[in-house]
Amino acid sequence: MPITPATATQSTSKGTTDAILLELVDEKGVTIGTAEKLAAHQPPGQLHRAFSVFLFDEQGRLLLQRRALGKYHSPGVWSNTCCGHPYPGEAPFAAAARRTFEELGVSPSLLGEAGTVRYNHPDPASGLVEQEFNHLFVGLVQAPLAPDPEEVGETAFVTATELTERHARDTFSSWFMTVLDAARPAIRELTGPSAGW
């Protein structure tokens, strides 16, 4: 497997861990600087670039993941297939493909841009704030999953009806419905009208 910044050892010569930097943006998505990841999520939050991926199987079912319990932000909640932050200077598309492989052990067989959405979602459990300019991607997954247990606690493929039932019953990430609703036009184009998205 190629070594990327996320899979490489992130330590300095003094044995300390390098900070993970996010790309800060203005309201139009133009880069204006960087900030350390945790600092960017402290209230009131700093607007930064992010991405969200929605992958579907050949039956038009959405792949959900339940975030691992060890994650510092929104642990143990259900969310879209994959989400995260590009490294400063990394294209959102490349970051989305990279993190999908790192988290789920699979590369999308198709991945396309689905627009952007800007939101501000406080996480009631952690007190952290998602102040994000989010790039959306939709695509297909056709290979077996191999999730990283440090990232992903569980996965499930769901129909639109099953998602409605699960969303009413289970806890989802604070941003899930915002990014799903923003991606729906591209999702409908990908899955067709019969899938019900």
Q: How far apart are the first and last CA of the chain?
A: 35
Active site residue: 23, 103, 130, 132, which one? 132
Question: CA 72, CA 127: separation in Å to the nearest integer?
Answer: 11
Question: CA 102, CA 146: separation in Å to the nearest integer?
Answer: 9
Q: Are strands 129-140 and 110-122 parallel, antiparallel or unpaired?
A: antiparallel
Q: Is 82 a catalytic residue?
A: no
101 contacts: CB under 8 Å, gap ≥ 6: 107
Q: Is 132 a catalytic residue?
A: yes
Asked if residues 133 and 48 have their Cβ atoms less than 8 Å apart, the reply is: yes
Active site residue: 23, 83, 130, 151, which one? 83
Structure tokens at 99: 């993190």
186 contacts: CB under 8 Å, gap ≥ 6: 112, 113, 114, 115, 136, 138
Active site residue ranges: 83, 132
